Structure 1
Amino acid sequence: MNRTTLSLIAGATALAAVTGFAALSAPAASGDASTARTAAQLPVERTSLLCPQPSTSDIAETAYTSFTPVSKGTGDSGKAELQSATEESAGAAGGKKSGKSAGKPVVTPKEPGKPVTGDSSGAEAPALVGTAEGRFAPGWTVQETTEVAAGTGRGLLGTNCTAPDTEFWFPGASTAADRTDYVHLTNPDDSAAVVDIELYGKDGALKSTVGDGITVQPHASEPILLNTLTDDAQTNLTVHVTVRSGRVGATVQALDDKLGGDWLAASTDPAGSLVLPGIPKDATSVRLVAFVPGDADADLKVRLATPSGLITPAGNETLHVKAGMTAAIDLGDVTRGEAGSLVLTPTGTSVPVVAALRVVRGTGAKQETAFIPATSHVGTRATVADNSSKGSTLALAAPGRAAQVKVTASAGSGGGTAVTKTFTIKAGTTQNVEAPVPAGLKGTYALTVEPVSGGPVYASRMLAVTEEGVPGFTVQTLPDDRGTVAVPAADQDLSVLLK
């Protein structure tokens, strides 16, 4: 093999590395050759998702819903499946070994545009690893929803299964006496991952030696009990997960003795301004938890985007967050019967922060908890699965400019026809929209949100179910589904053969 051939191979390899999982094909040239061309947006060809072990309760009932929206340019081939992670090692630092091995897939989608469901029961349900390829990859989403009728963390727990990554921030965790919080780490790869977990309270970093160098074996999941990482009981914590080698999926399961529980998803990357969309209109208690990863303090303006515009909560106009410390403020029943989203902006110099909300519905012994992390805007498209004709609430927020948004209800998992509606969201507002429902719905369905025009849109979906008077609920945000990737335009250059 001569050097020019090797050069061509090296060039193609470099381009493949840049484009990730996108189809490696250049768009056709058009117009004058001197005209600058932007990168083409092509559908991704492979997507990985990780679902944490749903519960340690023997009475847990878990539903999985898989959905891929129909995308242009994907071709006709591909597949997707969600399988048990193969547990190969004993737990580390409070983790547990399930002993399960990969077997029959929990869900195997048949076609894009139609949800597929699966289920599991009890405390032995394992973490899951999912892969979608070809036409099933762009925008693939899997919802894990668990009902626990009694005990610590009882209620409705829900999470979007997440893509593997190397860093995660979780403001809103706790090591208080009435909380049992785990950070679930799932490794989808063939080699072990090494993970560090840092905890930050109101006075800064908590001392811990067992949080460093946690090994997560290949195709394994480790639930790490936060109380085993420190002796310091703190009501409001920020958990920082970093991966030294490999990659993992990470999410926090927050269980309260009296207030139910839910999954706390990672906050969006640290930023100077944040949006936390879709606070339930009947929330009885809302707590904001924020953290500054850098070495400069942050001063934040706190506002609520309501159906009529942006307002400032009385007595909580601003929040000062010291560098490296977790700050929290209780906002009470801040929404006062209306839809709302919290908007955080710098009062002066912009300092990157992460944040999340703990939201409580109900009163007395009939209270339930969910979490809303700061999230990125919808971008091109976002999807959330496991909706029903009753009990699903879609919140759309346009904190800046007004926006027009298209919302599509997919076909149902058991039958039904897709339906689309378009909504206009006024500037500075949040709306609980009357989301479309598939005609002739049977089973559950997915909602896909696509901005049409205007400013950035932030979204979340609340699922609610009342059991024995307890208002069980869970909230999932809708960031961009990253279903496409930019592929640079390229021309053939045969002169490389002569070099």
Structure 2
Amino acid sequence: MSRKEEPRNGRAGTDNNGTDNAGKPPAGRAEARVRRQRRRRQAVTAVSAVLILAAGTAVVAGSAVIDSGNAGKTVDSAAADVPAGPLTAVCPEPLRLLSGAVAGTDPQFSPVSESAKTSLSAAVLSGAGNPVPASSLLKIDGSVLKTIADEAVDVQPLAGVRSAGVLVDENVTEATVLSAEPSGTLQATANAVVGFSAEDGDLAGLAAANCQAPGNDMWLLGARTTVGATAVLRLTNPSESAATVDLELYGSKGRLEGTGTRGILVPPGETKSIVLAGVAANEPGLAVRVRSSGAPITAMVQQSILRGLTPGGVEFIQPSAAASPQQIISGVRIQSAGAAKELAGERGYESAAPAVQVAVPGSTNGVVSVRILGKDGDVSVPGGGVFTVPAGSVGQLPLDSLPEGTYSVEVTADVSVVAGTVSSRGSKADAPVDLAVAPSGERLGNEHLAVLPGDAASVLSFAAPAGEAEVRLTGVARDGKLADEQIVTVPAGSTINVAATSVGSDLAAVLISTTGEPVYGAQVLTAAKGDGVSVLPLPKGNIGGTTVPVSLGY
């Protein structure tokens, strides 16, 4: 059910038709919208303005600055600040079953079960001493679906105090966009999470995903297109320009060349769906590189598995870190070794075993080494954890001998690789089993915002592969207030797991910052009922403005 929006900054929340809770249009809404649109254009035009100003300065200075006749002389570079732009993040549409054609693009989707629920939770933080930035949940076409925080006018927050605009368990039926204006000179610290849960039907299980900033190059690893497995690639273009997308596919036997993988047109404000079995059938672990020209896009895989009549799990597969010789995967949830082996021993359940998957996109075979980090340090890996992955293919290493727990995995190789893990939760072949896909992540820094879905328990998992690190955790309550900061130490070469409930009560999100040696993290969700499980990479930290060097010469 929809949750009524609470007043923020002394204002009532705004409903879908743009009126306040008293039924009157908010004063100055049109003017505020114009101001927001003007600020969005500032980020795009700032560099041009700087260059024009620089050129004008050179002309006005004339011979007073530049010696005439001294060709080739260069004036020292000056730095010009370009302010941060608005935050835009695309939130995936709900999971649905395929119906009709099951290959190619533009598939049809059938309704989900009666118990299925898709909800969105979001948090937008202010900078210290600043009001909460104007922020909204939009439809893909740009129309406002829900206002999180209105633009503050004549609001004077206490110096050094931060607050948040919060949206909790908002029902959604389509893809949406989280939009937030900058907070001062920094891009807003904001995030939203879409959570799907179903207790019955073919899509029984738990799946969740962070809303994603658009990009032009990303990797997705862990999709399955074997019998009973359905993987749908969703490409969304939230911009006002068209995007042309090319796909590179890598499977267990090498690179795959399929029709319909080049020149995919994604019009402005639309989502293109591609059934991956139509371009790469019978793959137990598929790697997809998505590259766009023109507008930036978002990419995500909707994965579901059905073994006969028994649900085998659902997941949103999110982008991994870019290909490199080192990859760190956090939040690897393993059930007991006995349960994992027993389940994988059943006919048709071989793919339920936990494993590390590694893609080698280059033209040289990769020698891969896997290191497992547990709560007490390194955990032994069968066979030493070293194996070779042929060039242009995806290989995997089983993890079914690990004791029950939540781990981190370090993958190193002599070539650039992409890595992730797959695992399952559930121990009986005649009962629903859920699926978790954990992508590799980037090193954490400051201002990462983990949003907590209301229907699942969240555990934050952190790893420090090389040396000791500190993680600072601040709870963000549903009323928008921030709790006192807590500091957690991550010992060198180990993984620690922090339940969100230990950070505070009635939380909407947790703000995460780190110091010390490199630390990585993920958010592990488990369902309150059943065996539902899902893994979220921690979102990127906030982004400040950039400095552009301006050189003058003739």
| Paired position in structure 2 for 1:98 | none
Q: Report the equivalent of 2:248.
A: 198
How far 1:378 sits from its partner (Å)? 0.9
- Counterpart of 1:342 (choices 402, 409, 418) is 409
Mapped contact 1:406–1:451 kept (Cα < 8 A): yes
Instruction: Please list, as runs of the form range in 1=range in 2, the aligned pairs for 1:176-191 lying within 5 A after superposition.
Output: 176-191=226-241
State the aligned residue count.
438
Structure 1 residues 40 and 190, CA gap change in structure 2 (3 angstroms): closer
3-state SS in 2 of match to 1:164: coil
**Deviation at residue 249 of structure 1 after TM alignment:** 0.6
Deviation at 1:419, TM superposition (A): 3.5
Q: 2:380 aligns with which of 312, 333, 336?
A: 312
Q: Does the alignment pair 1:62 with 2:118? A: yes
Give the deviation of 1:104 after TM superposition: 4.2
1:483 is paired with a residue whose SS is: coil
Q: Is the 8 A contact 1:403 1:425 kept in 2?
A: yes
Quote the offset at 1:322 in angstroms. 1.5
Query: Is the contact between residue 107 and residue 117 of structure 1 (CA under 8 Å) also seen in structure 2?
Result: no
Structure 1 position 79 matched with structure 2 position 117: no
Shift of 1:437: 5.1
- Alpha-carbon distance, 1:153 to partner: 3.2
Q: Comparing 477-486 with 174-183, which one deviates more in the overlay?
A: 477-486
Task: Please tell me whether residue 401 in structure 1 is matched to residue 472 in structure 2.
Answer: no
Partner of 2:315: 262
User: Quick one: distance in 1 between partners of 2:51 and 2:134?
Assistant: 25
Instruction: Return the offset for 1:488.
Output: 5.8
Contact 1:408 1:448 survives alignment (8 Å)? yes
Alignment CA distance shift 1:265-1:15 (3 Å):
farther
Contact 2:133–2:149 at 8 Å: present in 1 too? no
2:221 to 171, 183, 190: 171
Equivalent position amino acid for 1:338 in 2: G
Query: 1:351 is matched with which residue?
Result: 415
What displacement does 1:228 show? 2.4
CA drift of 1:105 comes to: 1.4
- In 1, are the aligned partners of 2:422 and 2:436 still within 8 Å (CA)? yes
Q: Closer, same or farther in 2 for the Cα pair 1:461/1:15, shift >3 Å?
A: farther
Query: Given that residues 411 and 438 in structure 1 are in contact (C-alpha distance below 8 angstroms), is that contact kept between their aligned partners in structure 2?
Result: no
Give the equivalent residue in structure 1 for 2:178: 130
Q: Distance in 2 between matches of 1:78 and 1:114?
A: 8
User: Following TM superposition, by how much is the alpha carbon of 1:157 offset from its aligned partner in structure 2, in angstroms?
Assistant: 0.8
Distance 1:340 1:78, change over 3 A: closer
- Mapped pair 1:117 → 2:168: yes
Q: 1:445 aligned to 491, 494, 508, which one?
A: 508
Judging changes above 3 Å, is the alpha-carbon distance between structure 1 residues 434 and 237 closer, same or farther for their aligned structure 2 residues? closer
Q: What whole-Å deviation, never above 9, does each CA across 1:112-145 have from its counterpart, x for those lacking one? A: 5242135236xxx211123211229422211111
- CA positional deviation for 1:50: 0.6
Amino acid at match of 2:210: N
SS in 2 for 1:430: strand
**1:249 aligns to 2:298 (yes or no):** yes
Structure 1: which amino acid aligns with 2:532? Answer: G
SS of 2:50 mapped into structure 1? helix
- 2:433 counterpart letter in structure 1: Q
Matched, 1:302 2:302: no
Secondary structure of 1:218's match? coil
CA distance in 2, matches of 1:389, 1:193: 35
Distance 2:305 2:81 in 1: 44
Deviation at 1:385, TM superposition (A): 0.2
Distance 1:217 1:307 in 2: 47
Structure 2 SS opposite 1:484:
coil
Aligned mate of 1:426, from 451, 471, 491: 491
| Residue 76 of structure 1: how far off its partner (Å) | 4.5
- Seen in structure 2, the aligned counterparts of structure 1 residues 409 and 40 have a Cα distance that, compared at 3 Å, is farther
* Pair 428,58 (structure 1): closer, same or farther in 2 beyond 3 Å: same
3-state SS, counterpart of residue 115 of structure 1: strand
Separation in structure 1 between the aligned mates of residue 175 and residue 455 of structure 2, nearest angstrom: 28
Matches within 5 A, 1:86-105: 86=141, 103-105=143-145
Normalising to structure 2: TM-score of the pair? Answer: 0.72
Distance 2:549 2:265 in 1: 41
SS in structure 2 at match of 1:162: coil
Higher mean displacement: 306-315 or 214-223: 306-315
Deviation of 1:152 after TM superposition, in Å, equals 3.0
Instruction: Render the CA deviation track for 1:252-274: whole Å, top value 9, x for unaligned.
Output: 11111132111111110111011
In structure 2, C-alpha distance between the alignment counterparts of 1:377 and 1:293, rounded to whole Å: 22
Q: Which position in structure 2 is the counterpart of 1:229?
A: 279
Contact 2:132 2:164 in 1 (8 A): no
Code of the aligned partner of 1:116: L
CA shift for structure 1 position 357: 0.8
> In the alignment, is the contact (CA less than 8 A) between 2:334 and 2:354 conserved in 1?
no
Alignment correspondent of 2:543: 483
When structure 1 is superposed on structure 2, of 151-160 and 392-401 the one drifting more is: 151-160
Q: What percent identity do the matched residue pairs reach? A: 25
1:311 deviation in Å?
Answer: 2.7
Question: Equivalent residue of 2:441, what SS?
Answer: coil
Hey, what does 1:28 align to over in structure 2?
none
Change (3 A) 1:39 1:12: closer
Instruction: Specify the code of the residue in structure 1 equivalent to 2:194.
Output: E
1:260 maps to amino acid: G
Equivalent position SS for 1:344: strand
Aligned 1:120-159 pairs, distance under 5 A:
120=171, 125-135=173-183, 137-159=187-209
Tell me the CA shift for residue 425 of structure 1: 0.8
Question: 2:373 aligns to what SS in structure 1?
Answer: strand
Aligned amino acid, residue 89 of structure 2:
L
CA distance in 1: counterparts of 2:78 and 2:374, whole angstroms? 38
**What CA deviation, in whole Å up to 9, does each residue of 1:227-247 have, x standing for no partner?**
2224x3221211121113322
The residue identity in structure 1 corresponding to 2:547 is V
Cα gap change, 1:193/1:390 in structure 2, threshold over 3 Å: closer, same or farther? closer
Q: 1:185 to 1:313 in 2, by over 3 A?
A: same
Q: 1:215 to 1:9 in 2, by over 3 A?
A: closer
Distance 1:487 1:149, change over 3 A: same
Query: Partners in 2 of 1:177 and 1:170 — Cα distance?
Result: 20
The one-letter code matched in structure 2 to 1:169 is W
Matched, 1:275 2:313: no
Query: Higher Cα Rg: structure 1 or 2?
Result: 2
Other structure's SS at 1:391 match: strand
Higher helix fraction (1 or 2): 2
Question: Partner residue of 1:45?
Answer: 85
Q: Secondary structure at the match of 1:340?
A: strand
Q: Does 1:380 align with 2:446?
A: yes
The separation in 2 between residues aligned to 1:278 and 1:247, in whole angstroms, is 28
Q: Distance in 1 between matches of 2:47 and 2:241?
A: 27
Is 294-303 or 380-389 further displaced after alignment? 380-389
* CA pair 438-445 structure 1, distance change in 2 beyond 3 A: farther
Q: Report the 3-state secondary structure (helix = DSSP H, G, I; strand = E; otherwise coil) of the residue aligned with 1:105.
A: strand
Listed as ranges, the gaps of 5+ residues in structure 1 are 1-7, 17-36, 87-101
Q: Is the 8 A contact 2:252 2:284 kept in 1?
A: no
State the Cα deviation string for residues 125-179 of structure 1 (Å, max 9, x = none): 2111232112294222111111122233321110001011111211211211111
